[in-house]
């Protein structure tokens, strides 16, 4: 029942005792018929109900309208922080940023990391879908023999990740995905691989990787650590797909995982390891590139083998999610 004042309730009872109908009282007082009915019924049971009842707890800091205003503003611009929301709306009283965060959480708006994915065209979605369907037929033994590899750029002073305040299921919505080039201070590039056993390798390489640089990396770091029954995974970077690189693979008997779909970092399990690595490196706050290189190599080999094994176990799930999403991105 909407809140009414004591004076309104007295007027309703006075008109009721004067013999007026509910409809007549409703028209003259501009109070709904249902509310009038409850006022009269309560008065019949207890005449003291005309008095304002004491309320439990303190009243809300902001009115219902002001709370809705903050919620609408956050939904309209999910990138706004709690401080930004306060400065963008006019309120009847000052409230803290903590109050705003609690209000948003109470209505299901939680701050989440802004997920950044490469651009995915309709053609690439189909390629991902067909590849996932084909690869989902492979058994666990096959995937346990795949060597996953990739390059990664690690910055000395990485930029702060962007957060959005969105509903719980908003990860499924394309507006929360940014499209960007693959490589955007001072930074170093590394190349590495991982195996199911936990065996791994990481080396610093030139920031500009051409076929000659890549082949040299493979010859020095992959070939001595690869067995004949293992399969090598790589993405579609130009140096990886060049004629020179393909010739090197053929001459050295390296079996490559064919038809890797374009723009598919979520299917490459080493990408998750890069994320952990960058987080751990950031916690140590290297102060120069020399220290950065040392810390990166230390942290890479400190990542538990159990985590690598967990990544390999996720391959089937990644493929199934790609099929379910009709070639779209997965949660990985």
- Cβ neighbours around 175 below 10 Å, total: 9
- Cβ neighbours around 304 below 10 Å, total: 10
The per-residue pLDDT for 180 is 44
Return the domain boundaries, the chain: 6-50, 64-107, 119-324
| Per-residue pLDDT of the chain in tens (332 residues, 90 and over written 9) | 457 888 888 888 888 888 899 899 988 888 898 888 888 888 888 877 777 766 667 778 888 889 999 999 988 888 888 888 888 888 888 889 999 999 998 888 887 766 667 778 899 999 999 999 999 999 999 999 999 999 999 998 776 555 666 676 655 544 445 444 344 468 999 999 999 999 999 999 987 899 999 999 999 999 999 999 999 999 999 999 999 999 999 999 999 999 999 999 999 999 999 999 999 999 998 989 999 999 999 999 999 999 999 999 999 999 999 999 999 989 88
Output the pTM of the full model. 0.64
Rounded to whole angstroms, the Cα distance separating 183 from 239 reads 15
- Cβ neighbours around 113 below 10 Å, total: 11
The per-residue pLDDT for 317 is 95
Please check whether residue 290 is in contact with residue 281, taking contact to mean a CB–CB distance below 8 angstroms.
no
Rounded to whole angstroms, the Cα distance separating 45 from 67 reads 36
The per-residue pLDDT for 159 is 63
Q: Of 34, 31, 95, whose CA–CA distance to 63 is shortest?
A: 95
DSSP per position, 177-243: EEEE-S----EEEEEEEE-TTS-EEEEEE-SS--HHHHHHHIIIIIGGG--TT-EE-----HHHHSH
Give CA separation, 244 vs 24, 205, 221, 240, in Å. Answer: 92, 19, 18, 9
The per-residue pLDDT for 193 is 97
Phi-psi region of 285 (alpha: psi -120 to 50; beta: other; left: phi over 0): left
Rounded to whole angstroms, the Cα distance separating 284 from 157 reads 12
Q: CATH number of the domain at 119-324, please?
A: 3.30.420.10
Rounded to whole angstroms, the Cα distance separating 132 from 319 reads 5
Please check whether residue 146 is in contact with residue 257, taking contact to mean a CB–CB distance below 8 angstroms.
yes
Q: How many residues are listed for the chain in this entry? A: 332
Please check whether residue 164 is in contact with residue 240, taking contact to mean a CB–CB distance below 8 angstroms.
no
The per-residue pLDDT for 47 is 78
The per-residue pLDDT for 164 is 64
Strands (E) in 30-87, as ranges, are none
Rounded to whole angstroms, the Cα distance separating 179 from 181 reads 7
Strands (E) in the chain, as ranges, are 110-113, 115-118, 146-155, 163-166, 177-180, 187-194, 200-205, 231-232, 255-256
Please check whether residue 16 is in contact with residue 42, taking contact to mean a CB–CB distance below 8 angstroms.
no
Rounded to whole angstroms, the Cα distance separating 322 from 330 reads 6
The per-residue pLDDT for 161 is 56
């Amino acid at each position: 029942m909407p809140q009414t004042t004591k004076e309104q309730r007295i007027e309703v009872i006075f008109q009721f005792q004067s013999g007026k109908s509910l409809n007549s009282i409703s028209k003259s007082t501009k109070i709904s018929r249902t509310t009038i009915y409850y006022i009269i019924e309560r008065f019949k049971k207890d005449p003291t109900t005309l008095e304002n009842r004491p309320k439990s707890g303190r009243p809300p800091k902001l009115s219902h309208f002001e709370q809705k205003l903050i919620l609408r503003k956050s939904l309209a611009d999910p990138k706004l922080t709690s401080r930004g929301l306060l400065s963008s709306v006019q309120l009847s009283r000052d409230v803290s940023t903590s109050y705003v965060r609690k209000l948003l959480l109470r209505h299901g708006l939680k701050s989440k990391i802004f997920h950044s994915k490469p651009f995915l065209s309709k053609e690439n979605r189909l390629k991902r879908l067909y590849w996932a369907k084909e690869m989902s037929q492979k058994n666990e033994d096959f995937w346990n023999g795949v060597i996953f590899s990739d390059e990664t750029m690690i910055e000395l002073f990485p930029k702060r990740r962007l957060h959005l305040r969105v509903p719980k299921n908003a990860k499924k919505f394309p507006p929360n995905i940014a499209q960007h080039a693959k490589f955007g201070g001072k930074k170093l590039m590394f190349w590495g691989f991982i195996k199911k056993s936990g065996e791994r390798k990481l080396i610093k390489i030139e920031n500009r990787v051409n076929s000659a640089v890549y082949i040299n990396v493979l010859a020095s770091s992959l070939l001595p650590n690869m067995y004949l029954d293992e399969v090598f995974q790589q993405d579609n970077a130009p140096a990886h797909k060049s004629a020179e690189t393909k010739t090197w693979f053929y001459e050295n008997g390296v079996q490559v995982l064919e038809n890797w779909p374009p723009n598919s970092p979520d299917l490459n399990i080493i990408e998750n390891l890069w994320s952990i690595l960058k987080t751990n490196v950031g916690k140590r706050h290297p102060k120069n590139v020399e220290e950065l290189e040392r810390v990166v190599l230390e942290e890479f080999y400190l990542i538990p083998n159990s985590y690598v094994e967990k990544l390999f176990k996720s391959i089937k799930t990644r493929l199934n999610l790609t099929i379910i999403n009709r070639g779209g991105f997965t949660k990985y």
